Amino acid sequence: MGKKIYIAGCGGMLGEAFYKQFRDEYELKCTDKDVNDTWLSYLDFRDFDKYKKDVVDYKADYLFHLGAYTDLEFCEENSDKTYITNTLGVENAVIIANELDIPLLYISTAGIFDGKKDLYDDWDQPNPLGVYAKTKYLGERYVVENARRYLVCRAGWMMGAGPKKDKKFIQKIMQQIKNGKEELHIVNDKDGTPTYTHDFAQNVNLLLKKEYWGLYNMVCGGQTSRLEVAKTLIDLLNFNDKIKITEVSSDFFKKEYYAVRPPSERLINKKLELRGLNVMRDWRISLKEYLAEYYNTYL
């Protein structure tokens, strides 16, 4: 086997992709506080002493820190828990990685920008709006300012892992369709960039091998919107004659989704492009593959 990677917070949709993309080349220890797969073991990375002992005992060559609270409404209502998990948990990871002198991977988000610009490159200045965005940005800053060797990779609208672990936009639409909904209300005032978890994991692996440490935007190609993603999804499912899409503003969902969200979360992978290392595919190609891989028997 190759080098050893310790992956903390590996129980979610991104962790599933990292496990599948890295398991053949590296020796992995995948942990989470939610042990929802046979290849996971229990670890709550908020417990610094246990986190450190587990990584040290494993003799890891790399530390990947994936876990975070990502439900914006939960974060608004539970700000202390969110800071402990999304910010202090990351500080734990930096301290451990530095002590062992191993590289650290941290996952940041397009949500740290305020959306006043149409597009954000790797060097644009974040201005986080809500609790989720603030805690993630503080984690990003701590890594950049304190870790010796690191990769900070900013993801966009995540899609991956299918109905078992995807709690994001694609799965929410697929669940509505499965429940028999014939009309979907989709917001027309939110722009962003989808990010397929498997493409993301592959691009991280490429940077890891090159040892090009630093901060990178890492999203699929093609700038889009919630509305266009929904229309493309329905088209790929050949459901245009079955499902009606009705455009609404974000106010339509303000009771359910009351946390502040930037109007634009569109990233461009400027640094990856300049280094000739951007292997992120167009989001439409990735979405088509995602549906084929994970949803072919769902509906």
- What are the DSSP calls for 39-90, one per residue? TEEE--TTSHHHHHHHHHHHT-SEEEE------HHHHHH-HHHHHIIIIIHH
pLDDT at 33: 97
Return the sign of the alpha-carbon dihedral for residues 171, 69, 52, 198: positive
Residue 1: count of CB within 10 angstroms of its CB = 9
Q: Is the pLDDT of residue 299 over 90?
A: no
Q: Is the pLDDT of residue 116 over 70?
A: yes
Please report, rounded to a whole number, the percentage of residues in the chain having pLDDT higher than 70.
100
From CA 123, how far away is CA 216, in angstroms rounded?
9
In contact, 86 and 69? CB cutoff 8 Å: yes
Distance of CA 7 to the CA centre of its chain: 14
Q: Topology of domain 4-160+193-221+265-281, per CATH?
A: Rossmann fold (3.40.50)
DSSP 18-34: HHHHHTTTSEEEEEESS
Q: Beta strand 150-155 with 104-109: parallel, antiparallel or unpaired? A: parallel
Strand partners, 5: 28, 62
From CA 185, how far away is CA 248, in angstroms rounded?
6
Q: What is the per-residue pLDDT across 267-288, written as a single tens digit (0 to 9) for each?
A: 999 999 999 999 999 999 999 9
Strand partners, 157: 194
Residue type present at position 258: Y
pLDDT at 188: 96
pLDDT at 1: 64
Distance of CA 5 to the CA centre of its chain: 19
Q: Beta strand 4-8 with 150-155: parallel, antiparallel or unpaired? A: unpaired
Average pLDDT over residues 43-70: 98
Q: For the chain, report the end-to-end CA distance as a whole number of angstroms.
A: 39
Q: Which of 198, 144, 149, 194 is nearest to 173 (CA)?
A: 194
Strand partners, 104: 63, 150
From CA 195, how far away is CA 174, in angstroms rounded?
17
Please report, rounded to a whole number, the percentage of residues in the chain having pLDDT higher than 90.
99
Token couple for 125: 């200045």
Q: Which of 62, 273, 57 is nearest to 150 (CA)?
A: 62
N residues, the chain: 299
The mean of the pLDDT values for the chain is 97
Q: Is the pLDDT of residue 83 over 90?
A: yes
From CA 275, how far away is CA 181, in angstroms rounded?
45
Residue type present at position 251: D
Q: What is the per-residue pLDDT across 119-142, written as a single tens digit (0 to 9) for each?
A: 999 999 999 999 999 999 999 999
pLDDT at 2: 83
In contact, 101 and 141? CB cutoff 8 Å: no
Token couple for 82: 């969110």
Q: What is the per-residue pLDDT across 249-266, written as a single tens digit (0 to 9) for each?
A: 999 999 999 999 999 999
pLDDT at 95: 98
Query: What single DSSP character describes residue 267?
Result: B
Strand partners, 283: none
